Amino acid sequence: MFNFFNEIRNSARKIKITGRYNLVNISGELVYVEGHKGITLLSSDIISFKVKEGRINIFGKNLILSELADDTLKISGQIDKIEADR
């Protein structure tokens, strides 16, 4: 199975990427997350989750959360803003 983040890691060997979260915002309509440590807030306007370094907050409208695996999420809807609390 193709893994987008593994491809990035392989092509960016000079950058130290270890044990952190990965987040991709696709056109403001979909956010893919790897490495979260649990959901802390869930509503149609805000979804927050823990990561090793703190917490990530996704703000928008009509947000829908799908858990793809234990530490992997897909959030869809109108993504307005993403903030990291450290």
Cα(77)–Cα(32) distance, integer angstroms:
12
Flag whether 4 is in a domain: no
How many domains in the chain?
A: 1
Q: For the whole model, what pTM was predicted?
A: 0.78
Q: Domain of residue 68: give its range.
A: 21-85
13 phi-psi bin (left φ>0, alpha ψ -120 to 50, beta other): alpha
Q: What is the pLDDT of residues 33-84, one digit of tens each?
A: 988 999 999 999 999 999 988 999 999 999 999 877 888 999 999 999 999 9
47 neighbors 58 (Cβ within 8 angstroms): yes
Does 41 reside within a domain?
yes
Classify residue 46: in a domain, yes or no: yes
Q: The CATH number of the domain where 61 resides is what?
A: 2.60.40.2000
Does residue 49 belong to any structural domain of this protein?
Answer: yes
Asked if the structure places residue 11 within a domain, the reply is: no
